[in-house]
Amino acid sequence: MKAKQNIRHLSKEEIIEFFNAKGEQAFRAKQVYEWLWKKHATTFDKMTNLSVSTRKLLEDSFVINAITTIEEQVSSDRTIKNAFKLHDGSIIEGVLIPTPKRMTACISSQVGCSLTCTFCATGKLDRLRNIDADEIFDQVALIKKQAEEKYKIPLTNIVYMGMGEPLLNYKNVLDSIKKITSEDGLAMSPKRITVSTAGIAKMIKKLGDDDVKFNLALSLHAANDEKRSKIMPINEQNSLESLKEAIIYFHEKTGTRVSFEYIIFKDFNDSLEDAKELADFCKIVPCKINIIEYNPIEGAHFKKADTKKTDEFARYLEDKCRLVVNVRRSRGKDIDAACGQLANKKKAVLKK
């Protein structure tokens, strides 16, 4: 028996062709497409303005591989971590981060990760597969609904900073952003979306060539090659010099200000000499620097930098180097939802 096709892998034109071939009216395709992407229908039964026979035709021909929420954990600071189950049983995590000015969805792009950054819980997992564009879309739609139902506030921002490396799932990530920003989808502004990368120079250049409209964040964490390679093995193939060239190229192509993410570790990258190296690197393009508190994980020897030293580090960048700096305090640490802590502890569900 032929396997049913995932209908969300089809374009609107392909759905029109399907209906034409079945002798159905083409306007039905527009209705179906709206149900899938604007109304986020997860079953054909929910498409109530279609006849029963049309819904059965769809049911017999296609599947909707919608993701489901299998667990919600609420932090004392109101951050919510979600465990999502994919159609094949894989488990990923996504986070709703509420702050006074923003309601942000932090979403995943891969099941696991292949980059093995030493400070990151996700990096200790195997990469099982890339997440499809419709599965990425589902994370946003579910977290958006969660923000509206739990906090009565609409979703304002999306960050691709969850599990996995987005630029190693390039096509699906860009396809998901097209759906999220489309008037046929969630109609969110691309300026409200940030894609974060550990640093793959050739793919950063490709973003420039594709003239993307969303924001780019580079996870730097050290501004000399020796230190960076110790904590981020990807640096051995993507040196700081190659990243510098790629970032300049990206900015020239898009005109977009770049964000640099810098997790500050006690007695590793928290000195004023480290700050000077960071400033020298970041000055290559208009930018802002996000200094992130380290969130301890099991099996890693790093420690959170002293608050006083973190503040001195930030002040040096602001006062001496005239750079825009934000110090990001941890959110959701008590439920392992903070930066670097997404470790997929619901993995055992796969065996059930």
Give catalytic residue positions. Answer: 93, 339
Q: CA neighbours within 13 Å on the CB side: how many for 143?
A: 31
321 Cβ contact list (under 8 Å, min separation 6) = 275, 276, 279, 283
Distance CA 276, CA 105 (A): 32
Distance CA 220, CA 218 (A): 6
Helices within 48-132 (DSSP H only): 52-61
- Of the candidates 189, 133, 141, the one whose C-alpha atom is nearest the C-alpha of residue 10 is 133
Distance CA 55, CA 51 (A): 6
Query: Taking a C-beta distance cutoff of 8 angstroms, is the pair 343, 112 a contact?
Result: no
- Of the candidates 230, 216, 228, 225, the one whose C-alpha atom is nearest the C-alpha of residue 260 is 216
For 200, 226, 228, 236, 291, the CA distances from 233, given in Å and listed in that order, are 12, 10, 8, 6, 21
308: amino acid identity, one letter: K
